[in-house]
Structure 1
Amino acid sequence: MTEPSLHPGQRVLHTEFGEGVVIQLTANGYVRAFFPSGERQVFGESLRPATSRAEQIIAHVDGGAHRLRDAWLHVEAHALPLMENAAALTSARIDLLPHQVVLTHQVATTAPRRFLVADEVGLGKTIEIALILRELASRGELDRALMVVPAGLVNNWHRELNEVFNLDFEVFGAEGDVTDRRSNAFAKHNRLIASVDTLKRRARISRLKEAPPWDLVVCDEAHHLSAYRNGRKVRKTENYKLAEALRDHTRDLILLSATPHQGDHFRFWMLIQLLNPTLFKSPEEMVDERHRLNEVVYRRTKADACTADGSPLFARRWVHTESFTMSAAEKAFYAKLREYLIDGFNLAKQQGNQGRALGFVMTIFQKIAASSFAAVRSTLLHRQLALTIHEAILKDEALDIDGHQALMEEARQLIHQHSGLADDAVGRGEVDRVLADLKLRLIRKLDEDRLAAVASSESAEMVTAEGEEAATTAVELSLPEERLRIADLLKVFPQERETKVDKLLRGLGALWEQNPNEKVVIFATYLATVDLLAREINTAYPGQGVVVLRGGDHGTKLAAERRFRRPDGPRVLICTAAGREGINLQFSRVLFNFDLPWNPMDVEQRIGRIHRYGQKETAQVYNLVLSDTIEGRIFLMLTDKLQEIARALGKVDEQGNIAEDLRGQILGQLTDRLSYDQLYREALSDPELKRTRQELEAAMNNASEARKVVFELFQDLDQFSLDDYKPLANIDEGKSRITTFLQAAVERNGGSFQQIDDLRFKITAEANSVPMICTFDRDLAQQNEQLELIGIDHPLINRLLNQWRSTEASSLGATANVNIKQAVALSIWLVQSFGSKQDAGSHLVPIAVDRTGKRMPSIEKQYLECLQAPTGQPQFQAKERAALLHEHIEPMLQRELGHRGIANPDKGYSTEMLAWVEMD
């Protein structure tokens, strides 16, 4: 028989699983209960009632000076993270937008949290996830979180979550902070970022299942979690199988994708199955009942999103492609370079697997050549040097001493020429050092996997310094007489200023003639191109100033951004791929794309640096294109096809600009349908680009059709509404509560709090600690890095919340003097519910009764004020307290939860008394 005293919400003890909470009494004497290890069904007789926290609290009611203040701090430590507008009170130094605040609130106050966030590119999905993580952590609902992301985005996520949001994530993998070589890292580490390719191996999935469940798993670029139908057979990719394993091993699951639907209803339905396998029985039902997607899908477009006052989030943008042709000398060099690349690809293809490295090298060379002739010349010079040293090593191994020495001397001369080092003792010593270093690297050989990673990265412009180095030192397989061939190629290198550079300088001159103070952003992928541009601009326009953003950590990026932002700072910022994310340049309105990445979605991300929230002017974008190169012709083809589709759909404005939403939607669909590496590589041997045009047109037509299918399916999804934001927008009361809590908590710890002015205050967290100057003002904090931006998720607030949430139960029975005519017992309860979307999450419920057990709603309404009243005297004897608790308050609480819809058979919940205050 089931123990008759057990009831839902009751705390119980089990010999194996420890302390838990009864969820439901089931048939045959079994009980469903929630333990720290998860939900279990156990035999009722194996459970015994635990001495409840409430009983521990009422056993120690005292009128001591600090008791009431400690009880209030304990209650507030639970209450502050549950404020409606907690998401708007973040301490991250970011521009916080209404749609981000609303999404964070909606997700954090829902259970189970299983959603697809499908916001358009540029609306800040990374920020939304970081805000959700921080809010759940501050609510005490997040210990373990796993981010599953594409390999090329691991570092971006790591930087954003840690440097901007201080979330302390570690990278899992051979190149990361954490590996599983000696132990199960998934069990030892609670906050991990890992690539999907690293995790999907069977051994890793087994270790994931052996580790404790996660509180939250996030999968970025979730459209890569694919499953296909062929007749009656369903083929699940390894990515999808990984997602299935994680789905069953996490409490919450969030999928992210700006293009979640690739035009195939079955694939999208299988994605929805990961979130809720009972929502739709089939893809056909999903199409017919598409309004039900609102249960699991959030999708906001740039057209929906707006500022807090309702004005459009984004200013207009104007994109102009300036195309021109190469000079005669450039054409001659380009023709010989193209022959070199074709021969390299052909040899790589003939050699099969052994030719992979050479194929990667040629791909990197082709990408570098599309940036500038100066960049490809620099890389060719370095490869020529590496080939010379490699040949010298082979001569040495063959005991050809004369040949070895001749080639090493040739290598020395090349280093002298490339570096400009003097032919004296100091210069020769430096040359020998460079030579020895390069020789050692060649002997160790190149890691082919690293070369493959940088060569095939289409989702981001990763092929910069690392790619250039990889291409120059991968010399195990080379063309016949390649070093001599490179020497011949370099003899026809154009000596005059590059045509593209000349066009850029003329454009800058025209802009500065109109406005000498115009700030201009220039994107160029490769370091040799960047150095060339900086040198040419400084020469042509001395005094305008150039700052270069080459990479580095977030702090390095911000330092370059701040220099550029200053009114008296440099007029030009040149960015490599490192500047495509993580910096905000909306104070500039002009951007030049000196080179164009092969994936046009990367161009969109570049434009997003100036065309973003806070841009007051029309963003002006100039694409510089050599129309007689392969890259230029393909780019113009793609642009023409986009224009054709846009005109057919009426998505072109009076200036001829394609509507941004259409561009983003089609290019997003195109990315999964086209291998840009393959397209550009095959175009080398297709002089008229007939095959290339056919392939591009087919892919574009498919992408356009997929966009139409997606539009029809998503048309019933709820749009973002500013009305949802308005209740969360007023944060004055929240700031006041945090300030009061902060002051009381630091003073209780021996620290101090001092108001400096309306916006700033000084805090000493505890005796002898370093003071901090703090503010709640987001704009002020972004202008002054010395100021600490305080929010509900600030590390100091988090530390204090955790400290006061863990207060001993024996310290939480207090007294208060509130000048009422009769004795009243006020109890405050934390109720956590789960299993239903409505009213799920955490709630604070006050229950107040007089000596007869009559409920006192007037006291409950002002329970926070009662907790901040002067201390009083105990009003009840121990037996009276127990009777009030068990005979009146606990039944009242159950009725209250039933009335609110929290206590019902479809969901579980737990109750915990936070404080007991006796008032007179």
Structure 2
Amino acid sequence: MSETPLQPGQRVRHAQYGEGAVLVAGTDGFARVLFSGDAGERQVPSASLSAALSRAELVVQNVASGQQRNLRAWLAYQAHALPLIDSAAALTSARIDLLPHQVVLTHRVATASPRRYLIADEVGLGKTIETALVLRELASRGELNRALMVVPAGLVNNWHHELNEVFNLDFEVFGSQGDVTDRKSNAFAKHDRLIASVDTLKMKPRLRRLKDAPTWDLVVFDEAHHLSAYRNGTKVRRTESFKLAEVLRDHCRDLLLLSATPHQGDHFRFYMLVQLLEPTLFTSPADMIDNRHRLNSVIFRRTKADACRPDGSTLFARRWVHTESFVMSDDERDFYNELNVYLMDGFALAKKQGNKGRALGFVMTIFQKIAASSFAAVHRTLRRRLIALTVQEGLMHDNNLDIEARDASYSEARELMRNEYGLPDDQMGRVEAERLVADMKRRLLKDMKDEDLAVLSSEYSQETATTSSEDSVATAVKLALPEERNRIRDLLQKFPKQTETKVQNLMQALGTLWKQNPQERVVIFATYLGSVEMLGEQIDQAYPGQGVVVLKGGDHGTKAAAEKRFKQPEGPRVMICTAAGREGINLQHARILFNFDLPWNPMDLEQRIGRIHRYGQKDTAQVYNLVLSDTIEGRIFLLLDDKLKEIAKTLGKVDEHGEVAEDLRSQILGQLSERLSYEQLYAQAISDPKLKRTKVELEAALSNAQEARTAVHELFQDLDGFSLDDYEPLADTSKGMNDIVAFVKAAAQQEGRDLRMEPNDLVTLSAANGDSEKQFTTDREQSLDSDTLELLGLDHPQVVRYIEEFRELDPVQLGIRVASADGQSGVLSLWHVTTHGDRGETKNLIVPLGIDTEGARVPVWEKQVNQLFRLPPASGSASPLKIATDVFEPMIQRELSHRGVLGKDRGYDSRLVGWVEVI
């Protein structure tokens, strides 16, 4: 160390321990220093310490010349600048249809401060994609380290797939079934990117852990209309979900609420939702109504009428939805009536048993749903429940030490198993039947929790839950009806032998379609596996050679494989989907969809239709709903449809076919879902054969839904719609893509690789260092048409790796010296600036500042940064060391103030990322 005395707090460097800060400057030739890393606090000789130069001092003190040095310094600058370009969202490598309204919204959110918004786009416009793009852009900008996604339980896996597999965002699932739990530590403190269900987080112990964890950069609530606060007289009642939102609102920097139906017709509830975003925006619901234009500062709402292609053309083709209704045959009606008596008795026993009967109530609800799908599905489930009840009886006899009765029950169960699975009556068949019975014993001994059954019976159950529910309703025999085995045997005896009426009509319709066009592709939705398997067999028998592919759940890879098979030119002509096909697949190459069964929640029907009626559909989407009009479900569906048509005619919202206009249908049904428990409606309808009570409930709910739609329309009428003019400045991504390609080419050369531009927008990266040759495209449409071709983009792993590598380039390599092109000399400095607001808001930007040797500003250099890096290397004298702090750092503050990004409550950090001396 020089003779200058050490001062407490001074930054110093030690040859062995690295950098640290002086704690105590001793007078005995030693100093106590706190070193970074593992070295910790140590006492060392003062003479072994040297002053630690700042980053700017290291850059300026080590300016040098050379072609390769210039290139690496340019790469370091680009690694900081590329993620901050205006068209970042449009340059994602995710293979998705990227629409103008999505690009504009992402840009506005990502570049705003603060970022607290309600994204209220209509169903089908891509709120998930918009959110993922915001996350991706903030992460690229270095403004997102910690993020928490709070979503409905049924959507956790969908979000996990979308964020990780499509956008490479590296999120983990929190919860007992996820990647992360909080059993041993505070997971919210240890893990930076989490997806969790609302129900998982709103427990009080979790709320405490959330408060104890560091703040989040971004919190997102999906289906945010469930965050409810009600006014009860002069008191406000907040739901547990709303309290969770309040906790997280105060514990995050940015907050996004997502909902296609954010306003449920209650102005106070919506006012409280807005309060979560900006408490000072309105003083009361009345103030909100009077000054509704202020909602523009916190709400984005795009309708399907707003959405368009980049060229301005209509985004969505037309759709035609037709309901074909039939009546049951006599045998079907006998079986159906007997089944309803069985279900009524089950519901009655469940109600009589109180809490003990909850499981049976859930089982009956699931049974009722399966019966509404097809007689084949309920027949399959009844058979398997009979097996489970028989095994359960054997277990009871075993507990009572009645060996003879036990063996008789197990023998009967083995025979039922053999018949159910078509096992041969030989040694191998008997061994397999024994194994299946043993497996059933294990499952019955492991009681299923009531909560799990509740989820499976819920209208919100999604994806593979329907498959699980068929198994669960068969094996949930903890509480059974008196003599239930005999009742099921009687029901099975009454099962109609002829082909189901709905199936007959479906086969006729398929024959008519294929007579007109043998290549026609058809999508069929049937909720339960019993229906799906039966339909697959029937279609194969009736139309051999047309081919059937079944999409019945599993992970995303399984779904993608089924989708790929269906899209192949010579692939199967029919895809049969369970509920697993409602989301996450794109089938717009087909134009015909049959709803073989109808989900209880009609919004699920809209999701199904959205698989073919979506961006990219070139023809009118034709949808056929198959309904048995004399079943409870069929009558309620037709009743709801009639009521919707009445509303539509009153409002003049019917299409050319006399059907309810799509926008009105989605708005009304979205509101209706919040006012009606479809589970209760259908369960109660079993004991209300004339649907008197059902009609009253439905009419009241529809009336409320219509009032809510009107209230929403009035409140939202001053919200800004989407304009293609907003997209124009962000539309041309060619310059950004050229910058990415140039960056990757130069970075690849540093590791001995070559990047070649090929015809048809293809780019090939040569092999090196054990890494194989890779081919990319720079054209989004081309990547969507290919199963293997990757799209180059800012968030592509190859680009991200290079960006991370050159962002961390040693400061001593950043300063370069080039020969002036016009005789003017001076310095161009490049600063990465992060501004900070009083609520933790951050904004990153690159600030170029150029001055000549007289200290005068040179704006032309600041606009031609890349050209200066390309000037030939030069030799000469170095700049004064203090120029970085004495001249440029005061200029940064003036520049930020001039740009309007440095208000009175905002501070900033600056980091020198480039230094070009022009001589």
Q: Counterpart of 1:495 in 2: which secondary structure? A: coil
Aligned twin of 1:586: 588
Aligned twin of 1:897: 896
Preserved CA contact (<8 Å) 1:840 1:902: no
1:96-142: CA deviations, max 9, x gaps? 11111111111111111111000000001111111111111111111
Tell me, in whole angstroms, the C-alpha distance in 1 between the residues paired with 2:716 and 2:423: 63
Match of 2:406 among 404, 407, 426: 404
Query: Map of 1:177-576 to 2, 5 A cutoff?
Result: 177-458=179-460, 460=462, 463-576=465-578
Tell me, in whole angstroms, the C-alpha distance in 2 between the residues paired with 1:12 and 1:515: 82
Aligned twin of 2:865: 863
Aligned twin of 1:852: 854
1:311-368: CA deviations, max 9, x gaps? 1110110000001100000000000000000000000000001101111110110000
More displaced stretch, 201-210 vs 400-409? 400-409
Structure 1 residue identity aligned to 2:807: R
Aligned twin of 2:769: 767
Deviation at 1:690, TM superposition (A): 0.2
Structure 1 residue identity aligned to 2:341: E
Tell me, in whole angstroms, the C-alpha distance in 2 between the residues paired with 1:53 and 1:414: 78
Deviation at 1:12, TM superposition (A): 11
1:768-819: CA deviations, max 9, x gaps? 3122111112222223222221110111111211111122222211112242
Match of 2:831 among 821, 829, 832: 829
Tell me, in whole angstroms, the C-alpha distance in 1 between the residues paired with 2:299 and 2:836: 20
1:867-898: CA deviations, max 9, x gaps? 23322224434xx342x434433333332222
Tell me, in whole angstroms, the C-alpha distance in 1 between the residues paired with 2:709 and 2:394: 56
1:831-850: CA deviations, max 9, x gaps? 2335499x973222211111
Deviation at 1:442, TM superposition (A): 1.1
Match of 2:742 among 717, 740, 745: 740
Deviation at 1:463, TM superposition (A): 4.3
Tell me, in whole angstroms, the C-alpha distance in 2 between the residues paired with 1:898 and 1:391: 80
More displaced stretch, 332-341 vs 77-86? 77-86
1:475-519: CA deviations, max 9, x gaps? 111000101110001101000000000011111111112111111
Deviation at 1:905, TM superposition (A): 1.1
Tell me, in whole angstroms, the C-alpha distance in 2 between the residues paired with 1:732 and 1:439: 64
Identity of aligned residues (%): 61
TM-score by length of 1: 0.93
Query: Map of 1:620-639 to 2, 5 A cutoff?
Result: 620-639=622-641
Q: Counterpart of 1:560 in 2: which secondary structure? A: helix
Tell me, in whole angstroms, the C-alpha distance in 2 between the residues paired with 1:75 and 1:337: 72
Aligned twin of 1:141: 143
Structure 2 residue identity aligned to 1:308: P
Deviation at 1:908, TM superposition (A): 3.2
Aligned twin of 2:694: 692
Structure 2 unmatched ranges of 5 or more: 1-8, 13-18, 22-50
Query: Map of 1:171-182 to 2, 5 A cutoff?
Result: 171-182=173-184
TM-score by length of 2: 0.93
Preserved CA contact (<8 Å) 2:549 2:562: yes
More displaced stretch, 343-352 vs 564-573? 564-573
Aligned twin of 2:166: 164
Deviation at 1:400, TM superposition (A): 1.7
Structure 1 residue identity aligned to 2:738: S
Deviation at 1:765, TM superposition (A): 7.3
Query: Map of 1:625-704 to 2, 5 A cutoff?
Result: 625-704=627-706
Deviation at 1:864, TM superposition (A): 1.6
Q: Counterpart of 1:320 in 2: which secondary structure? A: strand
1:437-478: CA deviations, max 9, x gaps? 111211222233221211124364664220011111111110
Query: Map of 1:32-47 to 2, 5 A cutoff?
Result: none
Tell me, in whole angstroms, the C-alpha distance in 2 between the residues paired with 1:505 and 1:19: 79
Aligned twin of 1:724: 726
Tell me, in whole angstroms, the C-alpha distance in 2 between the residues paired with 1:438 and 1:459: 24
More displaced stretch, 146-155 vs 819-828? 819-828
Deviation at 1:231, TM superposition (A): 1.8
1:813-832: CA deviations, max 9, x gaps? 11122423132111012223
Q: Counterpart of 1:445 in 2: which secondary structure? A: coil
Distance 1:19-1:371 versus aligned 2 partners, 3 A rule: farther
Tell me, in whole angstroms, the C-alpha distance in 2 between the residues paired with 1:620 and 1:337: 33
Structure 1 residue identity aligned to 2:331: A
Tell me, in whole angstroms, the C-alpha distance in 1 between the residues paired with 2:212 and 2:66: 49
Q: Counterpart of 2:765 in 1: which secondary structure? A: strand
Tell me, in whole angstroms, the C-alpha distance in 2 between the residues paired with 1:609 and 1:761: 32
Tell me, in whole angstroms, the C-alpha distance in 2 between the residues paired with 1:525 and 1:12: 69
Q: Counterpart of 1:279 in 2: which secondary structure? A: coil
Preserved CA contact (<8 Å) 2:671 2:708: yes
Tell me, in whole angstroms, the C-alpha distance in 1 between the residues paired with 2:637 and 2:425: 46
The runs of at least 4 aligned residues of structure 1 exceeding 6 Å deviation read: 11-14
Structure 2 residue identity aligned to 1:911: S
Tell me, in whole angstroms, the C-alpha distance in 1 between the residues paired with 2:121 and 2:554: 29
Preserved CA contact (<8 Å) 1:225 1:237: yes
Tell me, in whole angstroms, the C-alpha distance in 2 between the residues paired with 1:465 and 1:846: 59
Preserved CA contact (<8 Å) 1:111 1:834: no
More displaced stretch, 448-457 vs 603-612? 448-457
More displaced stretch, 252-261 vs 391-400? 391-400
Q: Counterpart of 1:843 in 2: which secondary structure? A: strand
More displaced stretch, 715-724 vs 551-560? 551-560
Distance 1:765-1:274 versus aligned 2 partners, 3 A rule: farther
Deviation at 1:291, TM superposition (A): 0.6
RMSD: 2.0
1:200-228: CA deviations, max 9, x gaps? 11110111111111111100000111111
Aligned twin of 2:712: 710
Aligned twin of 1:28: none
Aligned twin of 2:152: 150
Q: Counterpart of 1:574 in 2: which secondary structure? A: strand
Tell me, in whole angstroms, the C-alpha distance in 1 between the residues paired with 2:589 and 2:859: 54
Structure 1 unmatched ranges of 5 or more: 1-10, 21-48
Deviation at 1:86, TM superposition (A): 1.2
Tell me, in whole angstroms, the C-alpha distance in 1 between the residues paired with 2:596 and 2:71: 63
Aligned twin of 1:37: none
Distance 1:253-1:677 versus aligned 2 partners, 3 A rule: same
Aligned twin of 1:3: none
Q: Counterpart of 1:582 in 2: which secondary structure? A: coil
Match of 1:113 among 115, 124, 127: 115
Corresponding residue pairs, total = 875
Q: Counterpart of 2:793 in 1: which secondary structure? A: coil
Deviation at 1:51, TM superposition (A): 5.9
Aligned twin of 1:8: none
Aligned twin of 1:45: none
Q: Counterpart of 1:472 in 2: which secondary structure? A: helix
Tell me, in whole angstroms, the C-alpha distance in 2 between the residues paired with 1:836 and 1:173: 33
Tell me, in whole angstroms, the C-alpha distance in 2 between the residues paired with 1:776 and 1:836: 40
Preserved CA contact (<8 Å) 1:148 1:220: yes
More displaced stretch, 330-339 vs 862-871? 862-871
Q: Counterpart of 2:282 in 1: which secondary structure? A: coil
Tell me, in whole angstroms, the C-alpha distance in 2 between the residues paired with 1:177 and 1:863: 45
Aligned twin of 1:5: none
Aligned twin of 1:40: none
Preserved CA contact (<8 Å) 2:833 2:844: yes
Deviation at 1:648, TM superposition (A): 0.7
More displaced stretch, 587-596 vs 750-759? 750-759
Deviation at 1:764, TM superposition (A): 4.3
